[in-house]
């Protein structure tokens, strides 16, 4: 989650200068399911169908077609879904990740793109206790283990003779048990994540801290634009044909926020749409048919914990209806209305 560790601590884990990072303070994973967020990041679009490979316009496919070596390290479920678009897809346990990554990149002469997905180290923290002190201690231990893993992976990938763009993007927010009675709700505590980008062994990448709303799907277009592998026609489809929007214009100073007026999230049994100040969530029936009954609406400035549902026993009003219609329109996009699990 976004408050797991400071920017300085994470930059040290990555071996990067904290003063020369791209930091996105309002970054959101598109699902509490890390696999769905990872697929969204690779596709540049919200992934509803978890069985569909990222596709020809995805990050690994475009890089592979341009002569890059593309590597995926993740759990079997992610390797099965995304593997066809990678040159190498490997499922290894956490202890073997760093040696496997080091061996895969050793001796590579062509550019290398390596995507490493670290699944949770264990079950949800509130699965065995609701004691606040025990939860905090378990959370600190899990964060420390994750940081050690990140540092080892960064060291394994290091090639001092090659410039490298390093990205740290959270796949979901680790739970502290804030909402144990609503384990499938799309609360911000499960979606706010850290997002850092930095360059080592080279120069030329912009840096700075940005507060625009950004999401998992922005990764693919951003990295492809950093290496100049997208046409102008493809760029014009950002935020229209797909959810992802390149952050290059933002970080280069060519445009000003907002990047997104709203973000869309998907969970095991529901969806949500969020602006800076409002959030609407709803349950869905397969395949991604929104239920208008039981819709929840929160004013985030007044209720950041999302505990006061403004839709209880009252009409949604113009703001809520506008968000509901935007969500319904989003779920009706033809390429996404497919059988999904």
- C-alpha span between 26 and 274 (Å, rounded): 12
- Tell me whether residue 300 is exposed, middle or buried, using C-beta atoms within 10 angstroms of its C-beta: 0 to 12, 13 to 18, 19 or more: middle
- C-alpha span between 236 and 220 (Å, rounded): 14
- CB neighbours of 106 closer than 8 A, spacing ≥ 6? none
pLDDT value for 5: 87
Is this structure's pTM higher than 0.95?
Answer: no
Decide if 54 contacts 60 (C-beta within 8 A).
Answer: yes
pLDDT value for 333: 81
pLDDT value for 339: 35
- C-alpha span between 280 and 318 (Å, rounded): 12
pLDDT value for 287: 85
Considering Cα of 179, then 167, then 139, then 94, what sign does the dihedral take? positive
pLDDT value for 334: 61
Decide if 214 contacts 170 (C-beta within 8 A).
Answer: no
pLDDT value for 178: 53
- Local mean pLDDT, 10-residue blocks, the chain (341 residues): 87 95 96 93 94 90 97 92 92 90 91 92 77 86 91 94 95 64 77 96 94 97 97 94 96 93 93 97 91 94 94 91 94 56 31
Q: What is the DSSP string of 76-136?
A: HHHHHHHGGGSSEEE---HHHHHHHHHHHHTT--S-EEEEE----SSS-GGGS---HHHHH
Considering Cα of 71, then 75, then 2, then 329, what sign does the dihedral take? positive
Give which of 154, 157, 186, 155 is closest to 271, Cα–Cα. 186
């Amino acid at each position: 989650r976004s408050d797991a560790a400071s920017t300085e601590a994470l930059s040290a884990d990555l071996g990067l200068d904290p003063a020369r990072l791209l930091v996105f303070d309002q970054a959101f994973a598109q699902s509490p399911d890390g696999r769905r967020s990872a697929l969204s990041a690779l596709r540049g679009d919200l992934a509803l169908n978890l069985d569909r490979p990222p596709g020809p316009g995805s990050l690994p496919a475009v890089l592979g077609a341009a002569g890059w070596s593309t590597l995926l390290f993740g759990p079997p479920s992610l390797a099965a879904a995304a593997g066809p678009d990678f040159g190498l897809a490997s499922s290894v346990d956490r202890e073997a990740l760093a040696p496997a990554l080091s061996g895969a990149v050793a001796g590579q002469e062509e550019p290398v793109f390596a995507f490493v997905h670290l699944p949770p180290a264990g079950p949800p923290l509130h699965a065995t206790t609701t004691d606040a002190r025990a939860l905090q201690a378990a959370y600190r231990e899990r964060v420390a283990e994750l940081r050690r893993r990140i540092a080892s992976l960064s060291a394994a990938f290091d090639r001092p003779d090659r410039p490298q763009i390093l990205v740290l993007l959270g796949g979901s927010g680790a739970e502290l048990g804030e909402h144990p009675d609503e384990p499938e709700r799309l609360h911000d505590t499960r979606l706010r994540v850290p997002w850092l980008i930095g360059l080592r062994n080279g120069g030329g990448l912009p840096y700075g801290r940005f507060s625009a709303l950004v999401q998992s799907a922005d990764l693919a277009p951003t990295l492809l634009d950093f290496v100049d592998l997208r046409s102008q026609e493809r760029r014009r489809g950002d935020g229209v044909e797909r959810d992802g929007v390149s952050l290059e214009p933002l970080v280069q100073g060519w445009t000003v926020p907002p990047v997104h007026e709203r973000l869309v999230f998907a969970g095991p049994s529901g969806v949500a749409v969020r602006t800076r100040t409002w959030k609407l969530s709803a349950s869905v029936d397969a395949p991604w048919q929104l239920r208008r009954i039981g819709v929840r609406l929160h004013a985030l400035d007044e209720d950041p914990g999302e505990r006061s549902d403004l839709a209880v026993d009252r009409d949604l009003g113009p703001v809520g209806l506008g968000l509901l219609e935007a969500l319904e329109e989003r779920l009706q996009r033809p390429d996404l209305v497919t059988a999904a699990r």
